[in-house]
Chain A
């Protein structure tokens, strides 16, 4: 206790990051049957985490270096794995983001999930999710990080498959779990190689060792590529990106959490966490850059053809994650992290707004929502436009600043193709987000007025109207408004944030970062600002031309090419490819051999043992005559023989 009173930082860290776990345990064990109590417990736990995260951020804003609370966990010979908390600017920033988004999402869920039969379970899983993510963020060694990384995967599996009685939901949960697991195998192999080759999994040690050339180049490249596999799985990069759109099966607030601050952000976070390590291997960075670019473009094209509100944002998340990976891989450490930050804000905003629409109209189809008068919901409509503008990178919203930083980092690269891809991606992003906005804002043929057909309908309407102005509506509206306010202001803290982040990188790296940052902003790249914004505005203009005008056909230019439409709609046939590969190689080949092994060798062996035992039993069973007195007689005779033997 005395330690804590002397060190409030440690106290805040421990309390802030373990309260959600306690709340999960309490809900699952004690308060499952009291939904309101469960939600109060969960929300207050995460609220306390938010307070302590902000306290840590403020308290340590001017700390000279990272703070580590560590204890040796595994130590044997050359192997050293620490366990503890690692507080540096990156983890503090991420901790605050996670706590803030999780808190807002949980408050929002008070309204969105009201009356759901699994209300307590929902809050328990939300707490688990927040706990796992926060502990992943402040982990001090890669192994500890990996453990919580898997727990994040588990929590997202539970939440995606929350409506488990629905076949598609449980399938989507399984798909998310299995696909990310494929990447995680790579991650774990990378850690094993590092353990063998270096023997120390501490994050700061790893970064220092990589950048001071203690490790051999091949070792770094190999393990960096393998760890990047984990990033690919978790952050839904090419080719493991198809689980994320399916993850929409969960409740909308879960999607908001999943897509902004937790699950998918974990991959990018790991990339930036060991950024110096990655950047010591130019080959791994090149691979990451290519994968990020491909992901960004592929996902943007998919978003252009879907009519599902949530799917558009899901694809856009994938493409923005691709953009972050591109930024990091191009050496723009701050740009990547900054985009992660702003993206967490506006993507949560977009999902939560969509959630209000979906809650209101009980459909995911943007055309139907527009027809039924989606634009009449003023608060979510305004907020979703703010979010979409931020996503498109329009001044003065947060997305503008971070996207410019990313483009600046890409412009550093000698090959202009990456920058062009980035600009093209910005154009597509603006196009598909405003396609959605215009579908809701300017529906074809105006709004269809629904007339109350009978009393039942009128009753339903009245209920809805009550819901609108009651506590449930404001539980959803207030988080949305807070997030839009954040989206408005987050852009203007870029420079303080940049200085703050620069403190986190070891000194020999700082020069490069500052150099890149100077170049990214203003210095010689003023044309980039214009190019970036005009790409966004061009996309918005095209969307307006095709979907927003009064006389617009509302099909889009892709509608004229059914083949390409189909290609985009079927996600470039990636799912079909996986399905075929699975069917042909795994099920037809491996699985058959394994089945045969199971049936013939394992089952056969056990059956054989059983057969011999039984036959042996039959052979000697005549000894059991079933006559008590024969047994007695044999016993007496045996005793008599023994007595004769010993006495005579």
Chain B
């Protein structure tokens, strides 16, 4: 149980879940949450590799911290985009944003 593959499988599962959410949910907030899932999958990978392959320098852990900061920034920007879109369309349904349809 406590080996690398378990963590990798969990992380792959999380990533696919996130991808599915991004591709399939029509709600923008939902898409944003799914992106967070994908980021967490990557985080999990980093931690696992750090733990099992090269525990001495804490590079993996540091990168995980960075990714968390990045996720926070990304959430702020994403939310503000959603807010702007909401002001314009009075909805956060992605299907309403179809201005560039050819």
Residues of A whose CB lies within 8 Å of any CB of B are 620-629, 632-633, 636
Name the A residues within 8 Å of B100 (CB-CB): 624, 626
Closest A residue by C-beta to B99? A626
Contact, CB under 8 Å: B102 / A622: yes
Query: With the chains together, A624 CA to B26 CA distance in Å?
Result: 18
Q: Does B19 touch A at the CB level, under 8 Å? A: yes
Closest B residue by C-beta to A630? B23
Contact, CB under 8 Å: B101 / A625: yes
Contact, CB under 8 Å: B102 / A628: no
Closest B residue by C-beta to A631? B100
Which of B23, B100, B102 lies at the interface centre, i.e. has the most chain A CB atoms within 10 A of its CB?
B102
Q: Does B95 touch A at the CB level, under 8 Å? A: yes
How near does chain A come to B98, taking the closest CB pair, in angstroms?
4
Q: Does B22 touch A at the CB level, under 8 Å? A: yes
Contact, CB under 8 Å: A636 / B101: no
Contact, CB under 8 Å: B101 / A628: no
Query: With the chains together, A620 CA to B24 CA distance in Å?
Result: 25
| Cross-interface CB contact of A624 among B19, B22, B97, B101, cutoff 8 Å | B101
How near does chain B come to A617, taking the closest CB pair, in angstroms?
8
How near does chain B come to A629, taking the closest CB pair, in angstroms?
6
Closest 3 pairs between A and B when the two form their complex, measured CB to CB: A626-B101, A621-B102, A624-B102
Specify the main secondary structure of chain A where it touches its partner: helix
How near does chain A come to B96, taking the closest CB pair, in angstroms?
10
| Cross-interface CB contact of A628 among B19, B24, B97, cutoff 8 Å | B97
B 61-102 binary contact with A (CB < 8 Å = 1; else 0):
000000000000000000000000000000000110111111
How near does chain A come to B19, taking the closest CB pair, in angstroms?
7
Query: With the chains together, A627 CA to B102 CA distance in Å?
Result: 11
Contact, CB under 8 Å: A627 / B98: yes
Contact, CB under 8 Å: A636 / B102: no
Known: A621-B102, A622-B102, A636-B19. A629 touches B97 (CB 8 A): no
Contact, CB under 8 Å: B102 / A633: no
Query: With the chains together, A625 CA to B101 CA distance in Å?
Result: 5
Query: With the chains together, A620 CA to B102 CA distance in Å?
Result: 8
Contact, CB under 8 Å: A636 / B23: yes
Name the B residues within 8 Å of A623 (CB-CB): 102
Query: With the chains together, A625 CA to B99 CA distance in Å?
Result: 10
Contact, CB under 8 Å: A626 / B94: no
Name the A residues within 8 Å of B101 (CB-CB): 624-626
Name the A residues within 8 Å of B23 (CB-CB): 629, 632-633, 636
Closest A residue by C-beta to B101? A626
How near does chain A come to B18, taking the closest CB pair, in angstroms?
11
Name the B residues within 8 Å of A627 (CB-CB): 94-95, 98
Chosen A-B contacts, 20 in total, with CB atoms closer than 8 Å, are A620-B102, A621-B102, A623-B102, A624-B100, A625-B101, A626-B98, A626-B99, A626-B101, A626-B102, A627-B98, A628-B94, A628-B97, A629-B24, A629-B26, A629-B94, A632-B22, A632-B23, A633-B23, A636-B19, A636-B23
Query: With the chains together, A627 CA to B23 CA distance in Å?
Result: 11
Known contacts A625-B101, A628-B97, A629-B94, then 10 further A-B pairs from the complex at CB < 8 Å, ordered by chain A residue: A620-B102, A622-B102, A626-B98, A626-B99, A626-B100, A626-B101, A629-B22, A629-B26, A632-B23, A636-B19
How near does chain B come to A328, taking the closest CB pair, in angstroms?
76
How near does chain A come to B7, taking the closest CB pair, in angstroms?
20
Query: With the chains together, A621 CA to B100 CA distance in Å?
Result: 10
Name the B residues within 8 Å of A622 (CB-CB): 102
Closest A residue by C-beta to B28? A628
Query: With the chains together, A636 CA to B21 CA distance in Å?
Result: 13
Closest B residue by C-beta to A618? B102
Query: With the chains together, A628 CA to B26 CA distance in Å?
Result: 10
How near does chain A come to B28, taking the closest CB pair, in angstroms?
9
Query: With the chains together, A629 CA to B19 CA distance in Å?
Result: 11
Query: With the chains together, A633 CA to B24 CA distance in Å?
Result: 9
How near does chain B come to A632, taking the closest CB pair, in angstroms?
6
Closest B residue by C-beta to A626? B101
Name the A residues within 8 Å of B19 (CB-CB): 636
Name the A residues within 8 Å of B99 (CB-CB): 626
How near does chain B come to A359, taking the closest CB pair, in angstroms?
68
Query: With the chains together, A621 CA to B101 CA distance in Å?
Result: 8
Query: With the chains together, A421 CA to B64 CA distance in Å?
Result: 108
Name the B residues within 8 Å of A636 (CB-CB): 19, 23
B 24-49 binary contact with A (CB < 8 Å = 1; else 0):
10100000000000000000000000
How near does chain A come to B26, taking the closest CB pair, in angstroms?
8
Closest A residue by C-beta to B98? A626
Name the A residues within 8 Å of B97 (CB-CB): 626, 628
Query: With the chains together, A633 CA to B102 CA distance in Å?
Result: 18
Name the A residues within 8 Å of B102 (CB-CB): 620-626
Query: With the chains together, A629 CA to B25 CA distance in Å?
Result: 9
How near does chain B come to A621, taking the closest CB pair, in angstroms?
3
Closest B residue by C-beta to A632? B23
Query: With the chains together, A632 CA to B95 CA distance in Å?
Result: 14
Closest A residue by C-beta to B95? A627
Query: With the chains together, A632 CA to B25 CA distance in Å?
Result: 12
Query: With the chains together, A632 CA to B28 CA distance in Å?
Result: 14
Query: With the chains together, A394 CA to B97 CA distance in Å?
Result: 94
Query: With the chains together, A146 CA to B81 CA distance in Å?
Result: 65
Query: With the chains together, A620 CA to B95 CA distance in Å?
Result: 21
Query: With the chains together, A162 CA to B33 CA distance in Å?
Result: 73
How near does chain A come to B16, taking the closest CB pair, in angstroms?
11
Query: With the chains together, A629 CA to B23 CA distance in Å?
Result: 6
Query: With the chains together, A633 CA to B22 CA distance in Å?
Result: 9
How near does chain A come to B24, taking the closest CB pair, in angstroms?
7
Name the A residues within 8 Å of B24 (CB-CB): 629
Name the A residues within 8 Å of B98 (CB-CB): 626-627
Query: With the chains together, A627 CA to B96 CA distance in Å?
Result: 9
